[in-house]
Amino acid sequence: EYDYHKMWGDLGMDVEAHDGLLGVVGEMYQTMYLTQENRPASTSYLDGVAANLHSGRIREMVDGRSEGSPKKIIGSFCLYVPEEVVTAAGAVEVGLCAGAEWAPEEAERYVPRNTCPLIKGFMGFKLGRVCPYIESADLVVGENTCDGKKKAYEQFSKLKPMYIMDVPHVRNEDTKLQWRHEVHALAARIEEETGQKITEESLRAAIKLANDKRRALQRLSDTRAADPVPISGLDSLLTVQAAFMDDSARLTGAINEMADECEKRVAEGVGAAPKGAKRILYTGTPMAVPNWKLFNIIEKAGGVVVGEECCTGSRYYKDLVPEDGATIDEMLDDISDRYLNIQCAIFTPNNGRRDDVIRMARELHADGIIDASLSFCTIYEMEAFDMEKAAQEAGIPYMHLSTDYSAEGDGQLTTRIQAFLEMI
Ligand code: BJ8
């Protein structure tokens, strides 16, 4: 029996507090996930990921590092940090976004009280020393996206070695070149960290590895257009959340198995929710582990989430990087261009996001759109006005919500969601 408590202690974690966190998350998983009926059998992979998140997966990466593969662990908070570059230089990229509140009083010594819960969450996870991903990371790559993150990184960098990428906020020829420069600079910084040069071969393989994962996620997503829908929104969400933590090749294999089973279910008319269940397209801010509450409320109320336009959803997998780049420079440019196209609300204008939401709602036969922002996220709250208009014009019922990580407003949230499901 491997001594995980020793491993967490060696990583500098607060082992006792961490036991408490694992207990809470384990209970949430039990009541939200394991109570679901008619799950595809292949989702047992997700149960394994959830069980190993802080134990087996960390051990694997930490052991791997001491054996030289991967050489380093690189943490990131955002979709704009290209994993292909990190992989090609011999490191592994892991997501550090926090989906739960932790040590808020300590976090408030570094960031204001009225900060988005995602930011407050990662500050609290670091200060409370309960996240093995943060603690095992050799370097954390941040990005100048929203004001909250940009300024919080100034604080976070006092606690952990950081490298910051500057993400443009408009798309034109100048910023395209600027962003390409940023991606090339990241490549140099990761090479310096690992002491390993990116080669044509390693970069080409990394592009293929990431694309294979995206293709598998696209396959799975396509099956959700069916009625009855073969897999729940909760399980689909966890699949993408897992992608930020698990080994890419293993994950891709598991997702393809889930897609195989879901395709078969569609052909046989087997669903995770009954035929005719109200279908919701989610759009909004990302949902980091273990932020499952909104999907749980929707699905326990009898609705089913059939798609998610967000960073823990379609934005993660809808676009591929071309696989025919001839040189390292050309491949890095292709990677840059693909990432600049992510429809984050930090961009102005960002009309592509609205188009995507309406397109997805139609393709996935959604009965309604739920657009949710984490509280104090000004940019997503701002975009909700035009999102509502676009939904109205398309004739699709729409609801906007603002939530945080606490359970305080859950009763009211449930009432509003139930009313919306009845109305659509
Ligand atoms: S590409 S969505 S992962 S920045 S919710 S911290 S925006 S105040 S997460 Fe994001 Fe990258 Fe964009 Fe995606 Fe700020 Fe809003 Fe908080 Fe947010």
pLDDT in tens, 306-360: 999 999 999 999 999 999 999 999 999 999 999 999 999 999 999 999 999 999 9
What value, to the nearest 5°, has the Cα angle with vertex 128 and ends 122 and 22? 85
The complex's ipTM works out to 0.96
Taking CA atoms only, the protein residue closest to ligand 1 atom 3 is 78
pLDDT of residue 334: 98
With CA atoms as reference, report the closest residue to 292 among 12, 15, 16, 27.
Answer: 27
Measured from CB, residues less than 6 Å from any atom of ligand 1 are: 78-80, 116, 118-119, 145-146, 148-149, 285-286, 311, 342, 344, 346, 374, 377, 379-380
What CA–CA distances, in Å, run from 401 to 211, 256, 294? 33, 33, 10
Q: Rg (Cα) of the chain, in Å, rounded?
A: 21
Mean pLDDT in the chain? 97
What CA–CA distances, in Å, run from 106 to 109, 114, 157? 5, 14, 16
pLDDT of residue 203: 98
What CA–CA distances, in Å, run from 282 to 112, 267, 363, 393, 398? 29, 25, 14, 18, 10
**Order of all β-strands in the sheet with 91-95:** 91-95, 72-76, 139-144, 162-166
For a pLDDT cut of 90, what percent of the chain falls above it? 98
- The owner of tokens 């604080």 is 155
Between the CA of 227 and the centroid of ligand 1 the distance, in Å, is 32
Distance separating alpha carbons of residues 131 and 136, to the nearest angstrom:
9
Phi first, then psi: give them for residue 292, nearest 5 degrees: -115, 0
Distance separating alpha carbons of residues 110 and 409, to the nearest angstrom:
26
Amino acid at 171: R
Amino acid at 421: L
Nearest ligand 1 atom to the CA of 342 is 1
pLDDT in tens, 150-198: 999 999 999 999 999 999 999 999 999 999 999 999 999 999 999 999 9
With a cut of 90, say whether residue 1 has pLDDT above it.
Answer: no
pLDDT in tens, 85-95: 999 999 999 99
